[in-house]
Structure 1
Amino acid sequence: MPALYILIPIAVVLVGIAIWVFFWAVNSGQYDDLDGPAHSILFDDEDPQHKAGIAEADKAAEQDDTRA
């Protein structure tokens, strides 16, 4: 029984800290964009060599159009 006199106030303090941390996270914007990080993994970053290849293909297509 004497252990409860120590454990109950410790539990109340821990719950209070957890609630404070939760409200701090909400107020600081931690939960503003929940879908962005989940969707960002699906899209690859554009790599410069890929962009160069697209530019070359566009130039070749334009040259083909002017020849025809």
Structure 2
Amino acid sequence: MLFGLSIGTWMLITIMICFTGSALLIWYAAKSSGQFDDVEGIKYRMLEEDSTVDVPINSKR
């Protein structure tokens, strides 16, 4: 036992570090691609009368 921790504890710490690293990489990729640039604009575009995409409600894709 290294530092008095069992193998299960070390596995849990390793998995937590991997999940945290993955979350940070996903956040950085989203930030780099500009997904957080205009968070307020989408709610105003939703309320506009003229839509650039006219898809019927009952269309079958």
TM-score of the superposed pair, with normalisation by structure 1: 0.59
More helix by share: 1
Q: State the partner residue of 2:41.
A: 36
How big is the shift at 1:22?
0.6
Structure 1 match to 2:24 = 19
Which ranges of structure 1 fall in alignment gaps of 5 or more residues?
47-68
Count residues with an aligned counterpart: 46
Deviation at 1:2, TM superposition (A): 3.2
Gaps of 5+ in 2: 1-5, 52-61
Q: 1:43, 1:17 → 2: CA distance?
A: 37
Query: Quick check: 1:8 aligned with 2:13?
Result: yes
Q: TM-score, normalised on structure 2?
A: 0.65
**DSSP-derived class of the 1:29 partner:** coil
Larger radius of gyration: 1
Alignment RMSD, CA only?
1.5
- Partners of 2:35 and 2:48 in 1: CA distance: 22
Alignment of 1:48-67 (within 5 A): none
* Misfit runs of 4+, over 4 Å: none
Work out which structure has the larger RCO, using CA pairs closer than 8 Å and 6 or more positions apart in sequence. 2
Using the aligned pairs only, state the percent identity: 30
